[in-house]
Amino acid sequence: MAADQPHPSVSFQTHPSQYAHVALSVEGPVARVALNVQEDRGLRPDDYALKLNSYDLGVDIELADAVQRLRFEHPEVTCVVITSAIPGVFCSGANIFMLGSSAHAFKVNFCKYTNETRLYIEDATAHSGQTYIAALNGVASGGGYELPLACEEIYLVDDRRSAVALPEVPFLGVLPGTGGLTRVADKRKIRRDRADIFSTLAEGIKGKRAVEWGLVDGVFPTTKFDDKVQARAVAIADGGRPDRAGIALTPIQAQVDDDGNRTYEFVTLTFGPTPRTAILTMRAPDAVSPLPASPRDLGDAWWALKAFRELDDALLHLRFNHLGTGLVLLRTEGDPKTVLALDEQLLAHQDDWYVKEVTLHMKRVLKRLDLTAKTFFALIEEGSAFAGSLLELALAADRQYMYDEDGVHVALSGMNFGLLPMSNDLTRLQTRFLGDPGHPDALREHIGACLAADDAIDHGLVTEAYDDIEWEDEIRLVVEERASMSPDALTGMEANLRFAGPETMETKIFGRLTAWQNWIFQRPNAVGPTGALTLYGRPESAEFDYDRT
């Protein structure tokens, strides 16, 4: 497949019974995720073979599903071991021939998705009590080392050949694409000179030197490796949480018409009528019933979980299957008071593992929206339900337009004040009012109040409000104007403006992906006719333009 050709439509729904590349097993409080990548079962098998446990998007979709499934289906698990089912090879990273034959936008979105999966691993360790450790029973190179870097501890087999490596700079003329450099510096806190050597040493570092430099936490000889890792996993698991019973996650389903419009139970994604625009609508539940004594009895049908799983699926389809769509209009439907009642349930039951896990999932999906390279405008209209957790959709948008008419309101809930932070570890209200840090706290006195357009403007919650005479023309103009602008410039602009405030490891990872990797992936030294990525696997050496910018 030529690099400028469109990619086939990707589905993000899977199940352990359908996995081709990942083996998920659970034994008491310890789970194992073993990579066993099948060479001939890539997303585009005619273009590349997934040799040496290299991965493509299909492999990472399975890994992401396993991480999500462990949190909901196996909350009793408190330690997860990521390893390989292939002796002598842990993972050789993202498949180079897949990258070389992929369109630029696919490469960047692929890196972004794998970044999010690794961050979800760290989130599970930090917030769900499921500590991930990596058991490297063979070479871990490139993305194959970036995956262990997302784990809390890393153990490497000491067999005189297995090493950890980030060879992208010397081999491919690109950067590690899933946070490797950032985690080496910010998470593992490797000394700068050593990190510099490591990141330009194609063969990597092994054995006691890898431990000394802090690249791994320990090495064990081949004969003792499995036993030592298992003993460490059992110690970390500390008996697990046998008091917790999980729920089953069933696949998210949507009806898709000939135009690509997707209709879920609570989410609708439609395209047009303005070129390069889409409308993403989220519907509030019809009513809120009291939670059962054991909230997990709600299973995966509870609106707070199912609706946000549908939103997540829709966002991923926008990223990968609708590259030409640059502007997404966010809408909601329903009764704001119903959303506020649901938020009260969420807030009141954070000590319950299931309710907390649902809330953490909502947080992750909203971050996915923040990090999606599309413009988002929120349209607050008649029948909207931009309240509490659904108001976060509007606060995540680049602009908010409100219809100034009786009965149209926005509302705040306690969910807007801490449980759904952005990648910068601030709430969207704190990020919005960075220049007035006391304002978010002042807004707490309006929790639960239905705020009309004038109040929403006064409190800084919306961008503009238009009456019935102005609404249609004003919205048409801003939509047409935005859809006509350069998507490259908008992507860079939005990424700069969305994450004001403190920098975190997470914002560094995505900021560098958006700017540096996005740029490097288009430079001739990487993807030109004689670029390193283009010529990888051929006898010719790359020819570089040695002018620095």
The reply to whether 49 and 188 lie within a common domain is: yes
**What pLDDT does 263 receive?**
98
d(CA 191, CA 214): 9
Cβ-contact 371, 510 below 8 angstroms: yes
d(CA 39, CA 27): 28
* CA-based nearest residue to 152, from 123, 181, 190: 123
Instruction: Tell me: pLDDT of 191 over 80.
Output: yes
Give 394-436 pLDDT, tens digit per residue: 999 999 999 999 999 999 999 999 999 999 999 999 999 999 9
By percentage, how much of the chain surpasses pLDDT 90? 87
> What's the Cα-to-Cα distance from 322 to each of 11, 59, 276, 418, rounded to whole Å?
13, 21, 9, 32
The reply to whether 308 and 230 lie within a common domain is: no
Neighbouring C-beta atoms of residue 452, cutoff 10 Å: 17
Instruction: Tell me: pLDDT of 7 over 80.
Output: no
Instruction: Tell me: pLDDT of 4 over 70.
Output: no
On whether residue 251 sits in a domain, the answer given is no
Model-wide pTM > 0.85:
yes
Give 63-112 pLDDT, tens digit per residue: 999 999 999 999 999 999 999 999 899 999 999 999 888 988 898 899 99
* Kind plus residue range of the DSSP H or E element containing 422: none
The reply to whether 199 and 260 lie within a common domain is: no
- In this prediction, residues 57-66 reach a mean pLDDT of 97
d(CA 218, CA 212): 9
**Tokens standing for 397?**
């948008």
Instruction: Tell me: pLDDT of 1 over 80.
Output: no
The reply to whether 193 and 278 lie within a common domain is: no
On whether residue 99 sits in a domain, the answer given is yes
On whether residue 70 sits in a domain, the answer given is yes
Domain of 287, CATH number, reads 3.90.226.10
On whether residue 521 sits in a domain, the answer given is no
Strands 138-141 and 79-84: unpaired
Give residue 83's domain range.
Answer: 16-237
Instruction: Tell me: pLDDT of 5 over 50.
Output: no
By percentage, how much of the chain surpasses pLDDT 70? 99
Give 457-468 pLDDT, tens digit per residue: 999 999 999 999
Cβ-contact 404, 453 below 8 angstroms: yes
d(CA 483, CA 276): 6
Domain final residue pick, 491, 512, 534: 491
3-state secondary structure of 330: strand
Confidence of residue 503 (pLDDT cuts 50, 70, 90): very high
How many domains does one find in the chain? Answer: 2
**What pLDDT does 8 receive?**
64
Domain final residue pick, 237, 269, 296: 237
Confidence of residue 516 (pLDDT cuts 50, 70, 90): confident
Average pLDDT over the chain reads: 95
On whether residue 523 sits in a domain, the answer given is no
The reply to whether 105 and 202 lie within a common domain is: yes
* CA-based nearest residue to 391, from 402, 406, 375: 402
The reply to whether 273 and 421 lie within a common domain is: yes
d(CA 123, CA 451): 34
